[in-house]
Amino acid sequence: MGNAAAFGGCLSAEGATAAITILGGEIVNNTAANGGGAAAARKAGRIIFSGSSIVSGNTATLGAGGYADQTSQLVLQDTIFRQNTASKEGGGVYVQNMAKVTLHSAAAVSNNSAAIQGGGVVGADNATISMAGLVDSNRAPTGGGIFLGGQAKLLLLPSSTVAHNAATGQGMGGGMWLDSSSFVPAAVVAATVNRGNTALYSASFGVLPTSFVLMSPAVVYGFVSELASDAGLLHADVNITGAFGLPCEGQLVSAQLIGSADAQQVFLGSNRSDSSGIAHLSMKLRQPQGWCTVQLMLVLQVLKLMCHFQVTQNLQGVQKPKPTEGDVECSETAGATPAAAAAAAAAATAEDDSKVEPAELLRPLVLFSQYLLIVSTLDVQWPDTTS
């Protein structure tokens, strides 16, 4: 009680021959400047907690209850880690660099907190979290119960329960936040969903976005931009998913007007994705005749997709399909003079409805390449309304 160290405030097992087994009792109110407020296993060391051990009230930067690195192991049998506090990550346990923590069915990590992520347990780098026990009532801004980062692995047995954890503030992933893709989706759902976990976004679990796809029309012909009307409202829908195609809720998407004659990098608005991973944006555009680009950006510097959509010239007097609900509002004779547009509209009304522009004229050129941000661009041609 009341001990302090850089690693392992009370206990430290360092090296392949170092092994400690706790057969009961309490480890309370210890502090580590770096990792393992109560205990740290380092450089292939091993610590086993059993005999109804209690690890409580400890503090550290990483892993206030327990810390392990470099192929070391922490084993929690009939043990509870509770009310420990990390100033960064892993209120209960933090493992990294190929280390492993095992929570047996009688083990619990409860009521711990972290200032950044992983209120209960953090697995970083190539670490492994293997659990059959309980992670409950922990708190952190991201990953209230469990945070899985880097290439870490999460192994959940059927008895695993992740319940009543909270991502605080504007955070995500009340039960879990999964940056890594080394998990089984069905096992995560079984452990977290309908278990009382809470968060502003992704209450049960959240995943890192890896895909950003424009769902609404990418080609806009003769977009109407009239200063004195409601015309000029551009709609865009994007779908954001992560590992295994799981939806990403609460991801912020922003829209900017770029490359126009009258405006450079003008912010048009933003919205967050819903529980299905779709973000809906409606943007008012007021621009003169010409070309312009609307850029949609996922406001999170993760991987890596940029889509270029090029608007082709519309043919004068050729009828185009009327926009359906959810499509971008378009005029029907972009590029024509007012007189030619009126004549074309009258002729189109009299002609058979089957005379529509061939599908190939609407096909955009889509180029995919990798960048530092997830970005989608949409080029729009404005009709000449000054004649």
Top-confidence residue, 305 or 172: 172
| pLDDT score, position 81 | 99
Are the beta carbons of 377 and 309 closer than 8 angstroms? yes
The answer, yes or no, to whether residue 225 has pLDDT greater than 50, is yes
pLDDT band at 232; cut points 50, 70, 90 = low
The answer, yes or no, to whether residue 47 has pLDDT greater than 60, is yes
| Both tokens assigned to 381 | 């041609």
pLDDT, average across residues 14-18: 97
| pLDDT score, position 221 | 66
| pLDDT score, position 287 | 67
> How open is the CA angle 268-270-275, to the nearest 5 degrees?
155
pLDDT, average across residues 189-199: 98
| pLDDT score, position 141 | 98
| Both tokens assigned to 126 | 């190539």
| pLDDT score, position 226 | 57
pLDDT, average across residues 16-42: 98
| Closest to 92 measured CA to CA, from 131, 49, 135 | 135
* Tens-place pLDDT, residues 290-337: 667 788 888 865 433 333 333 333 333 333 333 333 333 323 333 333
Q: Which residues pair with 282 in a beta bridge?
A: 235
Return all residues near 80 (Cβ < 8 A) that are at least 6 apart. 53, 54, 55, 56, 107, 108, 109, 110
Q: What percent of the chain is predicted at pLDDT more than 90?
A: 60
Residue 181 burial (10 A CB sphere; 0-12, 13-18, 19+):
middle
Q: How many CB atoms lie within 10 A of CB 17?
A: 9
* Tens-place pLDDT, residues 107-156: 999 999 999 999 999 999 999 999 999 999 999 999 999 999 999 999 99
* Tens-place pLDDT, residues 64-87: 999 999 999 999 999 999 999 999
pTM, to two decimals: 0.79
pLDDT, average across residues 172-188: 98
* Tens-place pLDDT, residues 346-371: 443 344 333 333 333 222 222 222 22
| pLDDT score, position 284 | 79
| pLDDT score, position 376 | 54
| pLDDT score, position 268 | 83
| pLDDT score, position 200 | 97
| pLDDT score, position 216 | 82
Q: How many CB atoms lie within 10 A of CB 1?
A: 11
Top-confidence residue, 358 or 39: 39
The answer, yes or no, to whether residue 192 has pLDDT greater than 60, is yes
Top-confidence residue, 170 or 371: 170
Q: What is the CA radius of gyration of the chain?
A: 28
> How open is the CA angle 294-296-298, to the nearest 5 degrees?
165
| pLDDT score, position 293 | 77
* Tens-place pLDDT, residues 238-290: 999 999 999 999 999 988 887 655 546 788 889 999 999 999 998 877 666 66
pLDDT, average across residues 192-210: 97
CA atoms within 13 A on the CB side of 64: 32
Q: Which amino acid is at 301?
A: Q
The answer, yes or no, to whether residue 378 has pLDDT greater than 80, is no
